[in-house]
Structure 1
């Protein structure tokens, strides 16, 4: 990765036209060929950028550009669209390059797969007397996250989401419709479990006789207020 802090102006031409007047900015050129233009604000979002696949050229400024103070000119062209990002550099304040190596990627915590494992291990969170039958119970239209039985032995189908929305309720409704046609399972109750359940989703679920359960991921992991909890 090359990081250049420079006084520059930037012009984007193609499907749209945009201009950034001369100012001090961070120019980030990544190994994948992309170029991002950042200011000292706006959080993570660049002011302008060019995504790969693209070509990069350093062009000598012409006489008119040199007279205007341009020391170096970058031209980045998107290979699929032909859009062009032109950076006119008036002064370089810092120019460094770093080999970051291969990034292992983001290891997400608290995703639906983690919630499913934890709820299967702590099935009593659904209520006293609940027992696990199996995870990923197959139906003709896909697997329901957890199949359990309550204290009376009735089947319980659980759909787990990180954020519970209407689409998740509709998904569970389809599973229940099919599962309730199986005489070995029927009647099957539905439980919609999530870390957060939107009010509209809760209203729809309750209208269809589906119980909603809010999951506290930190507590399920045995962590409370940032401290390990043994009991």
Structure 2
């Protein structure tokens, strides 16, 4: 990766036209060919960029550019479109290149698969007497996260989300409609389980007879004792 800190102006042309006036910015050139222009704000989002496939070429300024203080020009041309990013460098304060190597990728914690595994192991969080029938119970429209059985013998279909919204309730509703056609399973109750359930989703679930359960991921992992909390 190459990182350049420079006073520069940036012009983009192609599907749209955009101009960044002269200011100090960070120019990032990645191994995949992408070029990103960052300021000292705006979080992770660049001010402008060119995604691959593209080609970066560096050239000397012409006479008119040199007269206004330009010392170098980067031209980033997309190889499949007419999009072009032109960076006019005035003063370069830093120019470093570092080989980062192959990135192993982001390892996420607390994703739905983790919640599903933990809930399957602690199925009584759904209520005393609940037992696990199967994880990823197959249906014609996709697998139900967990199929359980209540203490009274009723089948229970569980949809698990990190953040529960209306789409999750709709998804569980479709599963319940299908599962309740199976005489070996019917009647099937629904449980919408998530770390956080949005108010609109809770209202919709309740209206459809679906029970909502909030999952405490840290407590399920055993790193947070809920009985010792003050609040």
Would the TM-score normalized by the shorter structure come out above 0.5?
A: yes
Please report how far the alpha carbon of residue 81 of structure 1 lies from its aligned counterpart in structure 2 after TM superposition.
2.3
Cα distance in structure 1, aligned partners of 2:160 and 2:80: 40
d(CA) in 1 for partners of 2:90, 2:31: 24
The Cα RMSD (Å) is: 1.1
1:65-86: CA deviation from partner (whole Å, max 9, x where unpaired)? 1122211100001222211110
Number of aligned residues = 225
Q: What is residue 109 of structure 2 aligned with on the other side?
A: 109
Q: Which residue of 1 aligns with 2:197?
A: 197
Q: TM-score, normalised by structure 2?
A: 0.94
Please tell me whether residue 84 in structure 1 is matched to residue 88 in structure 2.
no
Question: Any residues of structure 2 matched to 1:60-79 within 5 Å, and which?
Answer: 60-79=60-79
Matching residue of 2:99: 99
Deviation, structure 1 residue 200 = 1.2
Q: CA deviation at 1:13?
A: 1.1
Structure 2 match to 1:228: none
What per-residue deviation string (whole Å, max 9, x for no partner) do you get for residues 81-128 of structure 1? 211110011111111000000111111111111110000000010001
Find the aligned partners of 1:188 and 1:51 in 2 and give their Cα distance: 49
- Distance in 2, matches of 1:209 and 1:152, equals 17
Provide the residue aligned with 2:56 in structure 1: 56
Q: 2:220, 2:37 → 1: CA distance?
A: 42
How far is 1:8 from its partner? 0.8
1:118 and 1:216 map into 2 onto residues whose CA distance is 11
Structure 2 residue 146 is the aligned partner of structure 1 residue 146: yes
Look up the match of 1:26. 26
**Distance in 1, Cα, partners of 2:160 & 2:38:** 39
Give the CA deviation at 1:218.
Answer: 1.3
Provide structure 1 residue ranges, at least 5 long, that are not aligned to the other structure: 226-231
- For residues 96-175 of structure 1, the aligned pairs below 5 Å read 96-175=96-175
State the shift of 1:39 in Å.
Answer: 1.2
Runs of 5+ in structure 2 lacking a partner? 226-231
Tell me the equivalent position of 2:222: 222
What is the alpha-carbon distance in structure 2 between the residues aligned to residue 181 and residue 87 of structure 1?
Answer: 63
Inter-partner Cα distance in structure 1 for 2:177 and 2:20: 57
Question: The residue matched to 1:141 in structure 2 has which SS?
Answer: coil
3-state DSSP class of the match of 2:201?
Answer: helix
Q: Deviations over 1:130-151 (max 9, x none)?
A: 1111101111211101011111
- Post-superposition offset of 1:20: 1.1
Instruction: Give runs of ≥4 in structure 1 deviating > 2 Å.
Output: none
Q: Distance in 2 between matches of 1:101 and 1:131?
A: 47
Provide, for residues 35-55 of structure 1, a one-character-per-residue CA deviation record: whole Å limited to 9, x for no partner. Answer: 111111221111111111111
Q: Which position in structure 2 is the counterpart of 1:45?
A: 45
